Amino acid sequence: MIVNISKKKVKSDFVTKVEELSGQNLLACYQCGKCSAGCPAISQMDILPNQIIRLAQLGLKNELFKSKSIWVCASCMTCNTRCPKGINVAEVIEAVRQILLRKRKDHVELKDLSEEEKREVPPIALIACFRKFTS
């Protein structure tokens, strides 16, 4: 994979926005990979949690926006409790999701769920799903 790094992207509004929404200092991450080592969702991810942080540091927003990983992270907080630098990785991923969702790009639509699917799952599942995946 070829990655083009530019000063413009590193200093972009996107990086500032992610830091603001997540309340995290992205440059504190030294890429040890501990967050990815304990993440239960990696088998479904195309980029790993530590790579999400790296891409965010570099302001590579398109790579993040098109990744599958931001939608399979369930905010389980395992990475947060284990990061030796005290970075809340789950909050960074939430910030990326929110930047997309706030452009009204919902990830799930109620109309795409069948009556049976809606009836089957408990209310907390539906509410949490729509809280996390819609604006």
Partner 1 sequence: MKLTYYPGCTLKNKAENFENSAIFALNHLGVEVQELSRWNCCGTVFSLTTDDLMHHLAPIRNLIRVKEANSDKVMTLCAMCFNTLKRANEYMKNDPEGLDKLNQFMYREKIKYDGDVEVLHLLELLKDEVKFENIKSKVVKPLTDLKVASYYGCYLVRPQEIGIDDVENPTIIEELISLLGGIPVDFPYKTECCGSYQTVDKPEVVAERTFQILQSVQKNQADVVVVSCPLCAFNLDHRQKETIQIFPGFKNIPILYFTQLMAIAFGCSEDILKFNLHYIDPKPILQEKGLI
Nearer Cβ to ligand SF4, position 30 or 103?
30
Decide if residue 32 touches ligand SF4 (CB under 6 A): yes
Interface residue with ligand SF4, options 17, 34, 107, 132 (CB under 6 A)? 34
The CA-based angle 81-79-25, given to 5 degrees, is 85
DSSP state of 39: -
Percentage helix, strand, coil for the chain under 3-state DSSP, each rounded to 5: 60, 0, 40
Interface residue with ligand SF4, options 33, 62, 103, 121 (CB under 6 A)? 33
Name the residue type at position 67: S
Chain residues 88-127 in contact with ligand SF4, contact rule CB under 6 A: 89-90, 93
Is the CB of residue 129 less than 8 Å from the CB of residue 108?
yes
**Which of ligand SF4, partner 1, none lies near 53, with the C-beta cut-off 5 to 8 A by kind?**
ligand SF4
- Measuring CA to CA, which residue among 54, 65, 73 is closest to residue 103? 65
Binding site for partner 1 (CB under 8 A): 20-23, 40-41, 43-44, 72, 74-78, 80-81, 88, 90-91, 94-95, 98, 107-108, 113, 117, 120-129, 131-133
- Measuring CA to CA, which residue among 48, 83, 116 is closest to residue 56? 48
Is the CB of residue 50 less than 8 Å from the CB of residue 2?
no
Residues that bind ligand SF4 (CB under 6 A): 29-35, 39-41, 49-50, 53, 73-79, 83, 85, 87, 89-90, 93
